[in-house]
Structure 1
């Protein structure tokens, strides 16, 4: 099992969250909310308003997101789904956890430091560095840049 940090459309309440629990993609379990210990620029770019975490540590904000434990099948799905990104190990501070009624052995406590893989953008157009940066992504945020789903993109051709 692998820990994944999601900060964009895969988070709870966001357009692609359902993909985390589609059994055809594999298994995923929410473990905790967290934020990066280092600052990163989180920007919204392209004509489809996609959130990107730029792999430029020290710039931007401490990014808020969620930690999931995923199996190998879900990891493979996420690697393919996040094909514009590179899987990168990020350091995180746990903010909140889901209680584990099943008595599972894995427990992340608020305030603990941990690490998980996040999907970051390593190569990007230089003009992205001048875009506004965000601490937390929400497709319905004040930025007014609603994410265009992959399904909607097909109907725009």
Structure 2
């Protein structure tokens, strides 16, 4: 058996750790994906490419708190601004990932310089399967804690961009994400 340490909010100013024992499949942590790594989006292939490690789709969720989700920069990158209470509750996907995938995601997301990996409370909207709820997830009132890649460092004008509740690179906003391979 392995133990997963998860961060939970005991109050808005302090974090406490608790552990959850799960079957021995290597260390797995839960992440909440809201942007180009979601199913059907330009970078989803990274989530299912075994070369980067293991990820297991758990279901869909919605942030408990509101956040500004904006599309910014010349490459139309989705950013979740770590400014809770503003914006919308953001829709995304929950995954269990192993250490190798977590390291890849940190590098892919430019963590800790461009994004920071922080805990966020997510309301479970839909589970992939009934077993997903018991595979290492500690769900209380349909709420669980996941890591999310958000940013505290952003241009002040980004707070005045349109806020989205669900990112789609191919959406009506006409701000298609520019793949890294296509950038100058």
TM beyond 0.5: yes
Change (3 A) 1:105 1:69: closer
- Counterpart Cα distance in 2 of 1:52 and 1:107: 26
Q: Is residue 115–residue 150 contact of structure 2 (8 Å, CA) maintained in 1?
A: yes
- Which has the larger share of strand? 2
Number of equivalenced pairs: 154
Q: For residue 138 of structure 1, what is the aligned residue in structure 2?
A: 168
**Runs of 4+ residues over 3 Å off in structure 1:** 104-109
Q: Point out which structure has higher relative CO (alpha carbons under 8 A, 6+ apart).
A: 1
Aligned residue among 141, 148, 167 for 1:118? 148
CA contact (8 A) 1:42 1:63 kept: yes
Instruction: Compare CA radii of gyration and give the structure with the larger one.
Output: 2
Kindly indicate whether the alpha-carbon contact (under 8 Å) linking 1:97 and 1:108 is maintained by their aligned counterparts in 2.
no
Q: CA deviation at 1:67?
A: 0.5
Check whether the contact 2:55–2:101 (CA below 8 A) recurs between aligned residues.
Answer: yes
Query: How big is the shift at 1:99?
Result: 1.5
- Could you tell me whether the CA contact under 8 Å between 1:94 and 1:108 is conserved in 2? no
- CA contact under 8 A between 2:137 and 2:144: conserved in structure 1? no
Residue in 2 aligned with 1:3? 30
Query: Structure 2: where are the runs of 5+ without partners?
Result: 1-27
Deviations 1:105-147 (A, max 9, x none): 44687x6100100000111010111100000000011100000
Q: Distance in 1 between matches of 2:119 and 2:137?
A: 19
Structure 1 gap ranges (5+): none
After superposition, residues 1-157 of structure 1 pair within 5 angstroms as 1-83=28-110, 84-99=114-129, 105-106=135-136, 112-153=142-183, 157=184
Q: Contact conserved, 1:88 with 1:118, CA < 8 A, in 2?
A: yes
Q: TM-score normalised to the size of structure 1?
A: 0.92
**1: CA distance between counterparts of 2:168 and 2:89?**
15
Q: Deviations over 1:24-70 (max 9, x none)?
A: 10000000100000000000000000000000000000000000000
Output the CA distance in 1 between the equivalents of 2:88 and 2:30: 22
* Length-normalised TM-score, structure 2: 0.79
